Amino acid sequence: MIPAPMHLAAFTSAQWLLCAAAALCIGMAKTGFGGISAVALVLMALVMPARESTGVLLTILIVGDIYAVCAFHRHANWRVVLRLLPAAFLGIFAGWILMPLVPDGAFRPLLGGVTLALIGLLFIQRALPRLATAVSARPAFGWIAGWTGGVTTMIANAAGPIMAIYLLACRLPKMEFVGTGAWFFFVVNLIKVPFSASLGLITRDSLLLTLALAPLVAAGAFLGKWLLLRINQSLFETLLLAFTLLAAVRLLLG
């Protein structure tokens, strides 16, 4: 299904404010607070049809990815990135096939349920750290997370909570967490571009909107980095889990 054209000239002040808030959230998400990306998803869905918003969000996310990679490239755990990418690519391909067929109303509650299940796994990880660490190190766990993340990011740009839970289960230090996520999403979002373009989700107006919002993405990224450097590991994980839980409940409610 090809979305209706988006006309920036028809945007109201309220729509521009919602877009600006979404851009700030994306910038913060790219510097470690991944769960807040679901807030951006919801805000953009209030401005335009949810399916059309995915194309706009994708190009805005790439702007944030560029900043995150430049800022945290030295902290990436490439073993984790490479463990996830093959399955993520297969998930993107599956999402590309499913996207024209799956209604938003059916997909979002499913995504929320999957994310809540992963949060449950995180609590198991904290209660039984040795068992969970052993499970997270298994290739099958990475394939499940990568494929699920690929599908959800293609359909709704909503893999942030899933990847947050997986990387937390891997027990990565906060800087390594951010660097690993930065490279993973940068590669994945670039892979998604031709698939989204083929569905008519990336247009001239969506690119112009991305250009207009790019400074706010940078502002959000600077704010996120400032906070990241000033909170300890335990508080970081608690905030991330809280953002992810709220996002999962919001998605579950549809």
DSSP 172: -
Q: pTM for this structure? A: 0.78
pLDDT mean over 22-51: 77
SS3 content of the chain, % helix, strand, coil (to 5): 85, 0, 15
pLDDT over 60 at 4, yes or no: no
**And the tokens for 242?**
């809280």
What residue segments make up the domains of the chain, in order of their start?
A: 9-252
| Euclidean distance between CA atoms 55 and 252, whole angstroms | 22
At 3, is the pLDDT very low, low, confident or very high (cuts 50, 70, 90)? very low
Average pLDDT, the chain: 80
Contact 38, 158 (CB under 8 A): yes
| Euclidean distance between CA atoms 39 and 18, whole angstroms | 11
126-164 residue pLDDT tens: 676 666 566 666 677 788 889 988 998 898 787 776 787
Contact 91, 150 (CB under 8 A): yes
| Euclidean distance between CA atoms 220 and 31, whole angstroms | 9
| Euclidean distance between CA atoms 26 and 13, whole angstroms | 20
Greater confidence (106 vs 217) lies with 217
Task: Among 33-37, 41-45, 55-59, 229-233, name the most confident range.
Answer: 55-59
| Euclidean distance between CA atoms 80 and 139, whole angstroms | 10
| Euclidean distance between CA atoms 47 and 28, whole angstroms | 20
What whole-number percentage of the chain has pLDDT above 70?
77
Greater confidence (177 vs 165) lies with 177
Contact 214, 222 (CB under 8 A): no
| Euclidean distance between CA atoms 147 and 178, whole angstroms | 20
